[in-house]
Amino acid sequence: EGWGVAFGTRALLPEADARMAVRAVTRVVGPSGAGKSTLLRSLNRLVDEVPGVRLAGRILLDGEDLRRAAFPAVVLRQRVAMVGQQPVALPMSVFDNVAYGARLAGVRGLTLRSRVTRALEAVRLLDEVRDRLDDDAAGLSGGQLQRLALARCFALDPEVLLLDEPTSALDPIAAAHFERVVGELARERTVVLVTHHLAQATRLAAHVLTLADGRATPGWPREGLAPVARTAREPVHAGEPAGAP
C-alpha cells in the first residue's frame, strides 16, 4: 500500500499499491530502471541496508505490516526468501548449505535433517547429491547450485519466494529444469519473479505486474507486448518440439 523506495532525490520505485497472487507466480515486468529488482529487495527489506534509502508505505503479509519496527528482519527473511541471479555456494558442505538458514532459525537434530531432505527432494536435487551431502558444495554445476540456493530457501518453509533473474546464468537444459521446479513449488506458496525471458514468464506466471511511468499496474504494459514466440536461447521443455509456440 503506497509502497515506494527513494535514494536521495531519486525515486527508485514509485509509490503505488500492488497485490501479489497467492499460491501462484507473479511476473514483474517493466523497462530497465523501472525498479523491478528494487521491488524484490524491498519485499524482504534488503534495501534497508542501503545508506540513505528512504521508504514509504506498507508491505502487508497476512495482514501484518512487515515494515513495523517490532517485526525483525531475520524473521521476515524466513517467511519471504530470495534467490538471485548468481547462485551462492557457502564455503561448506552441500548439506550445511541447505541447512544454513534453518539452523539460524533454531531448527536442530532430526527435524533439521528432515527439512534438508525435503528441500532437496522439492528442487529435484536429492538423487543427484545423495552420496555427496558431505562434499564441498563448490563442486556442483551451475544448474545444481541454483537449485541448491532454492533448496536453502525452501528449508525455511517460506510463505513467499522472490526470484530475481534466477536462470540468467544457466544453460537451456538447466533453466528448463529450474522452471519445472518453480512451477511445482508455486502450487503451495507465493512466487514473485523478475525475468527478461518472455516465453519463460508466460510458461511460469499466471499473473503480471507492470512497473512503468511511475505506476504499478496489473497486466502487460500494452497490447502486443505479451510474448508469442520463444527465442533461440530460451529453453525447450522435455518432450516439447523446438519452435513450439
Signed CA dihedral, 102, 24, 206, 5: sign only: negative
Q: Residue-wise over 200-218: b if at least 16 C-beta within 10 A, else e? A: bbbbbbebbbbbeeeebbe
Signed CA dihedral, 161, 165, 169, 173: sign only: positive
**pLDDT surpasses 60 at 238:** no
**pLDDT surpasses 80 at 70:** no
Q: What is the per-residue pLDDT for 221? A: 61
**pLDDT surpasses 60 at 243:** no
Residue bearing the bigger pLDDT, 227 or 162? 162
Residue bearing the bigger pLDDT, 67 or 129? 129
Q: For the chain, what is the mean pLDDT?
A: 82
* Cell numbers placing 161: 519466494
Range scoring the smallest mean pLDDT among 49-58, 129-138, 145-154, 228-237:
228-237
The residues, any chain, with a CB within 8 Å of residue 42's CB and separated by 6 or more, are 3, 5, 13, 55, 59
What's the rounded mean pLDDT across residues 165-186? 85
Q: What is the per-residue pLDDT for 237? A: 37
pLDDT per residue as tens digits for the range 74-88: 888 889 999 988 888
* Inter-residue contact 215 to 2 (CB < 8 Å): no
* Cell numbers placing 17: 499499491
DSSP, collapsed to helix, strand or coil, labels residue 212 as strand
Q: What is the per-residue pLDDT for 69? A: 66
DSSP, collapsed to helix, strand or coil, labels residue 84 as coil
pTM above 0.85, yes or no: no
In one-letter notation, the amino acid at residue 59 is I
In one-letter notation, the amino acid at residue 45 is R
What's the rounded mean pLDDT across residues 32-55? 85
What's the rounded mean pLDDT across residues 26-44? 86
Model confidence at 214, in pLDDT bands (50, 70, 90)? low
**pLDDT surpasses 50 at 233:** no
- The C-alpha atoms of residue 199 and residue 5 are separated, in whole angstroms, by 29
Q: How far is CA 43 from CA 13, 23, 65, 229, in A?
A: 12, 17, 11, 31
